[in-house]
Amino acid sequence: MDVIAELSGLIGADAVLTSKSDLDAVTEDWRGRYRGPALCLVRPANAEQVAAVVRCCARHGVPVLPQGGNTSLCGGAVPSESGPAPVILNLARMRAVRSIDPVNSTMEVEAGCVLATVQEAAAAAGRLYPVSLGAEGSCQIGGTIATNAGGTSVLRYGNTRDNVLGLEVVLADGTIWSGLYGLRKNNTGYDLKHLFIGSEGTLGIITAATLKLHPLPTRHAVAWIGMAGPADALVLLTRMQERCGARLSAFEMINRLQLDLVVEQVPGRRSPIETPADWHILIELSDNSEGDTLDAELQAILEDAFGDGLLTDAALAASDAQRHAMWEVRHSVSEANKKAGVGLTTDCAVPLSAVPTFIDAATTAVQALVPGLPAIVVAHLGDGNVHFIPFFTFGAWNAVADREALAAAIRHAVNDEAARLNGTFSAEHGVGRVQLGEMARYKPAAELALMRAVKQALDPQNLFNPGRLLPSG
Ligand SMILES: Cc1cc2nc3c(=O)[nH]c(=O)nc-3n(C[C@H](O)[C@H](O)[C@H](O)COP(=O)(O)OP(=O)(O)OC[C@H]3O[C@@H](n4cnc5c(N)ncnc54)[C@H](O)[C@@H]3O)c2cc1C
């Protein structure tokens, strides 16, 4: 029996899709840059069906590509152009919020649950699931765990790894490992969940998770600020951390080009401040205090900073609508950039103190390759994570003779500067296929060898997402 017929027998013909229209939607990435053929798309209903799919694919030697919301920005969730076509395994049918324990501050969810649904369910129970990013309306919790997603609240709450207490995972031999512990302390040997968090679908299929929740903030103070440069932004960040402590929930930075693209490309978005500025900061304070103390606190800090010449302009959100409008500008950056042209997204992190040097050095390095090329900068500044994005119009990009070679040279130029400053080329998006060359270039040989040993132990047949994350040895 061929693999498609066998899969249909195992999980039902209606859960095994092979038509062109079904496959078109899952074989191309969100930005339309990477695509490759798939054998079929399977949509199992539970972990037992996932296990049956994995066992069947193992018997037939067919690779399994787990796919969440397909919002990966590094080509991690779609097949390669060459090599054996995989079975794409999508968990969208496994989207239940199984339980919420407000006293333990945990929730158990199936991996196909969309991130925004998780946030809403937690909020309805008076709790916060803090991981937040522009794709939260479509990415799945399983995808965010598999990529250890970061986003805009890492400064206060950590990244996804810090907010996962337990996992259920289908292993390469079809075993269902149930590690759905809701414990904050559990020193019983290797903490296996951390192997799967950030493994980008290469070690197992995450089917459910126990998430760590936090008190739901009831008060928010949000401001949009214009500044002369990243060095001033770091002075303000340090000052705010000293004065506000854990109430500082977000400190995001974009440059003028990024704001201009959002305003041009995304209907309804406008600059929150009147005075043009080269650099823009979005700050949020949040807590559970009574009254308007947060707004007053933020206003006092901004007035001091203005007096010290750190700011050129600032707007404090005066209502929830204004607060949401400011965040919508920030969350629209990827959509704007996709519409406007071709941005070569990089994903570096450097020590915070090195951010201004990194941005200057990356600018110089890229302009040595393509004189005058502008760069978008989007930074989760509080985390030292800078997306430095050399930007081409569609026309300029199409005129490049060898686009692949130029893109690689530009990425190396930027990532070399991060490496020189003791940084990383991959802070939050993952490695996928786009950063495979960078893994080979920057990752120490001993680390690669350990990673290959882990892969060999957990997936000796190289069944899960081959050709992603780990460069061939
Ligand atoms: C507009 C926009 C904004 C974004 N902003 C951010 C941001 O601020 N921070 C950030 O970190 N990322 C960001 N991203 C990238 C992306 O949203 C995240 O990487 C997200 O975590 C991917 O989730 P997904 O469900 O779409 O996974 P997919 O893209 O479908 O898959 C990503 C990887 O995870 C694997 N995978 C998916 N589900 C599973 C599973 N159940 N078990 C095992 N492996 C699995 C896939 O094989 C693939 O390797 C953004 C993307 C967009 C489009």
Nearest CA owner, ligand 1 atom 50? 135
Answer whether 297 contacts ligand 1 (Cβ < 6 A). no
Helix, strand or coil, per DSSP, at residue 35: strand
Answer whether 151 contacts ligand 1 (Cβ < 6 A). yes
Which H/E stretch holds residue 23? helix 20-24
Distance of CA 469 from the midpoint of ligand 1 (Å): 14
Closest CA to 376 of 408, 342, 403: 342
A 10 A CB-CB count for 246 gives 12
Closest CA to 252 of 305, 326, 202, 320: 326
Which H/E stretch holds residue 248? strand 248-255
Contact between residue 294 and residue 286 where contact means Cβ atoms under 8 Å apart? yes
Distance of CA 155 from the midpoint of ligand 1 (Å): 20
Distance of CA 22 from the midpoint of ligand 1 (Å): 20
Q: What is the per-residue pLDDT across 291-346, written as a single tens digit (0 to 9) for each?
A: 778 999 999 999 999 999 999 999 999 999 999 999 999 999 999 999 999 999 99
* DSSP summary character for residue 268: T
Answer whether 209 contacts ligand 1 (Cβ < 6 A). no
CA 389 to CA 18: how far, in whole Å? Answer: 36
Residue 291: per-residue pLDDT: 72
Q: Which residues are registered as beta bridge partners of 214? A: 128
Distance of CA 288 from the midpoint of ligand 1 (Å): 31
Residue 1: per-residue pLDDT: 67
Answer whether 337 contacts ligand 1 (Cβ < 6 A). no
Answer whether 143 contacts ligand 1 (Cβ < 6 A). yes
CA 377 to CA 390: how far, in whole Å? Answer: 9
Residue 231: per-residue pLDDT: 97
Answer whether 345 contacts ligand 1 (Cβ < 6 A). no
Tell me the best of 46, 53, 73, 95 to mutate to test the pocket of ligand 1, counting ligand atoms within 8 Å of each CB and taking the most: 73
Half-sphere exposure of 473 (CA within 13 A, CB side): 12
Answer whether 217 contacts ligand 1 (Cβ < 6 A). no
Which H/E stretch holds residue 293? helix 293-307
Identity of the amino acid at 468: R
Answer whether 140 contacts ligand 1 (Cβ < 6 A). yes
Q: Take residue 283 and report the two structure tokens written for it.
A: 């700050």
Check for a shared fold between 97-215 and 344-431: no
Answer whether 382 contacts ligand 1 (Cβ < 6 A). no
Overall fold of domain 219-331: Alpha-Beta Plaits (3.30.70)
Identity of the amino acid at 5: A
Residue 473: per-residue pLDDT: 73
Answer whether 71 contacts ligand 1 (Cβ < 6 A). yes
* Pairing relationship of beta strands 348-349 and 375-380 according to DSSP bridges: unpaired
Answer whether 153 contacts ligand 1 (Cβ < 6 A). no
Distance of CA 333 from the midpoint of ligand 1 (Å): 16
Distance of CA 289 from the midpoint of ligand 1 (Å): 34
Distance of CA 377 from the midpoint of ligand 1 (Å): 21
Closest CA to 403 of 415, 416, 414, 390: 390
Q: What is the per-residue pLDDT across 226-265, written as a single tens digit (0 to 9) for each?
A: 999 999 999 999 999 999 999 999 999 999 999 999 999 9
Answer whether 294 contacts ligand 1 (Cβ < 6 A). no
**188-209 core/surface letters (b: 16 or more CB in 10 A; e: else):** eeeebbebbbbbbbbbbbbbbb
Answer whether 43 contacts ligand 1 (Cβ < 6 A). no
Tell me the best of 67, 335, 470 to mutate to test the pocket of ligand 1, counting ligand atoms within 8 Å of each CB and taking the most: 67
Domain spans of the chain, in order of start: 3-90, 97-215, 219-331, 344-431
A 10 A CB-CB count for 262 gives 25
Which residues in the chain show pLDDT less than 70?
A: 1
Burial class, 291, CB count within 10 angstroms (exposed 0-12 / middle 13-18 / buried 19+) = exposed
Q: Take residue 450 and report the two structure tokens written for it.
A: 């350990």
Answer whether 75 contacts ligand 1 (Cβ < 6 A). no
Q: Take residue 146 and report the two structure tokens written for it.
A: 């598999």
Closest CA to 287 of 388, 371, 358, 215: 215
Nearest CA owner, ligand 1 atom 23? 143
Nearest CA owner, ligand 1 atom 33? 200
Distance of CA 455 from the midpoint of ligand 1 (Å): 21
Q: Take residue 143 and report the two structure tokens written for it.
A: 């995808």
Residue 472: per-residue pLDDT: 85
A 10 A CB-CB count for 309 gives 9
Distance of CA 311 from the midpoint of ligand 1 (Å): 35
Q: In what order do the strands lie in the sheet with 40-42?
A: 16-17, 40-42, 87-90, 64-67
Q: Which atom of ligand 1 is nearest to the CA of 145?
A: 21
* DSSP summary character for residue 269: -
Domain 344-431, CATH: 3.30.70.2740
**The CATH number of domain 3-90 is 3.30.43.10:** yes
As its CATH architecture, domain 97-215 has 2-Layer Sandwich (3.30)
CA 434 to CA 170: how far, in whole Å? Answer: 26
How big is the chain, counted in residues?
473
Mean pLDDT of the residues in the chain? 96
φ, ψ (nearest 5 deg) of residue 423: -105, -170
CA 39 to CA 17: how far, in whole Å? Answer: 9
HEC-encoded secondary structure of 387-456: EEEEEECHHHHHCCCCHHHHHHHHHHHHHHHHHHCCCECECCCCCCCCCHHHHHHHCCHHHHHHHHHHHH
